Amino acid sequence: MSHTGHYTYAEVEKIAEYLLEKAPGKWKIGIVCGTGLGSLADTLENANSFDYEDIPNFPVSTVPGHAGKLVFGHIGGKSVVCMKGRFHMYEGYPASTVTLPIRVMKLLGVEVLLVTNAAGAVNKSYKTGDLMMLKDHIFLPGLAGSNPLVGTNDERFGPRFPASSVIYQPSFRKLARQAATELGLEKYLHEGVYGMNGGPSFESIAECGLFLKLGADVLGMSTCPETVVASHCGIQVFGMSLVTNECVVDYESEKSANHAEVLEAGDARSKDVQNFIIKLVGLLPVS
């Protein structure tokens, strides 16, 4: 690892080579499973699974609801590599470590990344169990200097100053609407802005109000680092949030956010999310 805390290109390449030796192929689609959504990885055909702790120089996941496996397989004949559990900055990892798997995916051949997460809704028209496609994000830690691209830039990964206005592909959202309609989920589907808090504490009432004023629809503690790095290295991105709770924006409320509630909502909706992603993978223009 370099003095900036980044993995060098050679180190990322070494991890990719190790995985390709054990799971040869051209892996075109990457999927990051959010909290409580790891069961999607169990649906892969011809699956080949690796525990994070067995992959040399790979971080490990420490959060309930994140199993910590990299699963290679197929969905409808399309080659997929799936992160069953992701990494978060609140686990103590720098943003560059959180996003290491995305760069590994790039060197495995991944062209499209599907990222899912569990999120709390600040948009009052969203309900628990709804789905939201990301059209944009507010990456608060990134704006404050905790951006995964901080440090020396290696042009083999991407440019020094990438645009963030082109991260989430409108064409994928169109396909996702088609998938939702075919599955009868269109009434639960929204399109909006994801706001990221570094965590691990859930947002205060005033912080929820701030994000709402900034234009966020849902709030979470992940996703932005991965999608920034994916876009930086030329991977096309689709992001989706499962609304697992409604954020507290009223001082009179006696409710409070908790992780158990998030996991429960994730479990209740996991089958629909699975079917949605499987249907979307089938529609993607990737051979």
Q: Catalogue the E-assigned strands of the chain.
A: 29-33, 45-51, 69-75, 78-84, 112-121, 131-139, 189-196, 218-220, 236-246
Q: What pLDDT does residue 125 have? A: 96
pLDDT digit string, tens, across residues 27-78: 999 999 987 677 888 889 999 999 999 999 999 887 776 679 999 999 999 9
d(CA 220, CA 216): 11
Fold of 9-283: Rossmann fold (3.40.50)
Strand partners, 30: 81, 113
Q: What pLDDT does residue 165 have? A: 96
Which is nearest to 193 in space by CA: 165, 154, 153, 230?
Answer: 165
Which is nearest to 239 in space by CA: 128, 162, 139, 151?
Answer: 139
CB atoms near residue 251 (< 10 Å): 7
2 — pLDDT class (breaks 50, 70, 90): very low
217 — pLDDT class (breaks 50, 70, 90): very high
pLDDT digit string, tens, across residues 95-153: 999 999 999 999 999 999 999 999 999 999 999 999 999 999 999 999 999 999 999 99
pLDDT digit string, tens, across residues 247-257: 988 887 777 77
The structure tokens listed for 92 are 């103590």
- φ, ψ of residue 186 to 5 degrees: the values are -60, -30
Instruction: List Cα–Cα distances, 260 to 65, 70, 119, 154, 263, in angstroms.
Output: 10, 24, 13, 40, 5
Instruction: List Cα–Cα distances, 18 to 120, 158, 209, in angstroms.
Output: 37, 23, 46
Q: What pLDDT does residue 1 have? A: 53
